[in-house]
Each structure stands twice: as C-alpha cells, then as structure tokens.
Amino acid sequence: MADRSARSAARRGSRPAPDRPRHRPTRTHHACQLVHTDHCLLPCPPKSASSQRGIALDLDTLRLLHRHEQVQRDELGIDRSPSTSMFTRENGGAIDPNYLTHRFHKLVMASGLPQVRLHDLRHGAATLALAAGADLRVVQGLLGHASIVLTADTYTSVLPQLYHESARAIARLVLKAARKTARKVNNARRDTWLTGVAP
C-alpha cells in the first residue's frame, strides 16, 4: 500500500477504485475519502473538485493491485464492485486512516529507515515525477492541486535542479546543431580549397 501511495500520490484515507475497461486498465479513480465522525468512518466526496480525478498507474502497480484483488476474492470472499475500496479489513470493511498512519509509522521504525510520515509519500511521488522530467501541470494533476501556484510553491526546492537539467539539455541541442553547422562549413571550405571553385 505504501508503495502504491508513493507511486500515485494519493491522500491518506482516499479510496481508489480501479477502472474496469475491457482492455488492460492504466488508471484508478480517486472515488471518495473516508472521514472520521464520532461514531464511524463515512465515505465522502473528495476534498475538492480537483481531487476527483483519475490517477495513472504503471503496469507493475496494476499487476499488484489485481493480485491483491484476486486474493481478496479467493481467500476472503470479498467480491469487488466499482464502489468497493481496494484495501479493506478481512471482513470487507473500511480501514481506518488512523490505523494506516500508525501501521506505517511502525513499519518505518522497524525498517531502520529515516522517519517519514505517510503523507510524505505524496511529496516523494511529486518530487520523483519532477525529477523524472514530468511537466509541472502533470504533477499538479497527480496531486489534485486546484492551482499550479500551490504545486510550484511547494516544490520550489526541486525546480532549480530541473532548471539546471533543462539548461544542460538545451546546451546539448545547441552544441549539437553548432557542430553540425561547423562540419558543413568546414566541408564546404575543404571542397573549395580542393577544387578552387566556390560552392
């Protein structure tokens, strides 16, 4: 679950519902979020209109989700429908987001890794996407931010590195074009020198 959250930047308490098209799915929809009341967990619409979105997933993550779905169906007798949560308790009930936070904290402690919060996986996914060259608008959509300004302001520490990488990529293109032009000019000069005739 933590790995899927890191890849998709879903919020804690969100209930993903995978698409069920005929062809191999590549997206999951952020269908609703679970909200604590004094008595129970209630499924509610996502936090904002921009939070109601599809999230693209890679094929490895989809295979893991389908395997998880198969285990739930075969071993636990949980039959999946579009409104069913992807991750549930053994009885098919919703998992309390506070339990996930507590469990994640225990797993991080046991692993010996530096302390990170479950929510930090969202930031990690966004940072990795930006470092991989994803456009800022794509990351905005991934996170469900209503404004690109929020995304840019939040990830300004990553942007300078991306600006430098972009500058190096532009310089490579310019230098490649300059070398190509220089070769043409040198070849034309050589031909002129050899033949004594201007091109």
Distance separating alpha carbons of residues 48 and 35, to the nearest angstrom: 14
Q: Which of 65, 62, 61 is nearest to 24 (CA)?
A: 62
Residue 76 CA, chain-centre distance (Å), reads 30
The answer to whether the predicted template modeling score (pTM) of the entire model surpasses 0.85 is no
* 85-88 CB contacts, 8 Å cutoff, 24+ apart: 85/15, 85/16, 85/17, 86/15, 86/16, 86/17, 86/18, 86/28, 87/1
Residue 44: pLDDT over 60: yes
* 178-182 CB contacts, 8 Å cutoff, 24+ apart: none
Q: Which of 90, 80, 21, 11 is nearest to 44 (CA)?
A: 11
Phi, then psi, of 121 in degrees rounded to 5: -65, -35
Residue 32: pLDDT over 90: no
For the chain, give every domain's residue range.
2-116
Q: Residue for token digits 């993903």?
A: 16
Residue 9 φ/ψ region, left for φ over 0, alpha for ψ in the -120 to 50 degree band, beta for the rest: left
- Note the pLDDT of residue 9: 56
pLDDT tens, position by position, 99-150: 889 999 999 999 988 889 988 888 888 988 888 888 889 999 888 888 899 9
Residue 20: pLDDT over 50: no
